[in-house]
Amino acid sequence: MLTKEAVQFLADLVANNNTDWMHANKKRYENFKKEYHNYIASILAEMKPLDKKLEGLEVKNCTFRINRDIRFSKDKSPYKTNIGVWMSQNMNRKNAPGYYIHFEKGNSFIAGGCWCPEPNELKQIRKEIAFFHDDLEKIVNDKKFKSEFGAMTRDENNTLKKAPKDFEADHPAIEFLKLKSFTASEKIDDKLFLDKDFSKIVAQKLIALKPMNDFLNRALETED
């Protein structure tokens, strides 16, 4: 779970997102960082027995830097005001499928899958779907997957309007093939992150994504 101190630090950072404040609160930030790492460790302890592909992960593999990349952003706030945890099934692959946990006041959620794969990886995933769409349909129609996540994420930024190149518009899996990312997400109440059983609860939710991640991994690991 997250501590009240960590959540309060973020709230104060939202109101004081500048380097002067951060330097003046260096000790608070160091404590926040320790609590962030402890939070990740508790989640990994619950997830690893459920997904053996995560066994090699350490806390350092799942963290995000607090500094924002502001080079191409109109928002020049120097620091992130959320807490993210990324657990990848394959640390050696840039866009490997995995699980994500996001705490941000009023916008907390959990998610997983493969986000914005590179063109060659996107091609591999679509090829797997084209040949084995029955497997994917079974996964997303599973009772637990549907109760937690409803369906794979579809929006105007994530979905082509027409069939992708090399695929027929009447392909039985055309709605899957139109996707540019292959993810699913669920909104989470901020209060849950303070629950003493948070790690166990969230692990049971996230593990519903494992079959989808395994399918995506299979696609990326299959040689032409």
Structure tokens at 149: 């996540």
Q: What is the pLDDT of residue 224?
A: 62
Tell me which residue of 155, 157, 185, 161 sits closest to 174, measured CA to CA.
161
C-alpha radius of gyration, the chain, whole number = 19
Predicted confidence band of residue 75 (pLDDT cuts 50, 70, 90): confident
Question: pLDDT of 103-127, one tens digit each?
Answer: 999 999 999 999 999 999 999 999 9
Total residues found in the chain within this entry: 224
Sequence letter at residue 3: T
Whether the predicted pLDDT of 219 surpasses 70: yes
Question: pLDDT of 170-181, one tens digit each?
Answer: 999 999 999 999
CA 75/CA 14 separation, integer angstroms:
13
* Cβ within 8 Å of residue 62, ≥6 positions away: 40, 43, 44, 85, 86, 87
Domains defined for the chain, CATH in brackets: 4-221 (3.30.930)
**Do residues 207 and 51 lie in contact, with contact meaning Cβ atoms separated by under 8 Å?**
yes
pTM: 0.94
Question: pLDDT of 121-130, one tens digit each?
Answer: 999 999 999 9
Q: Give me the chain's average pLDDT, please.
A: 95
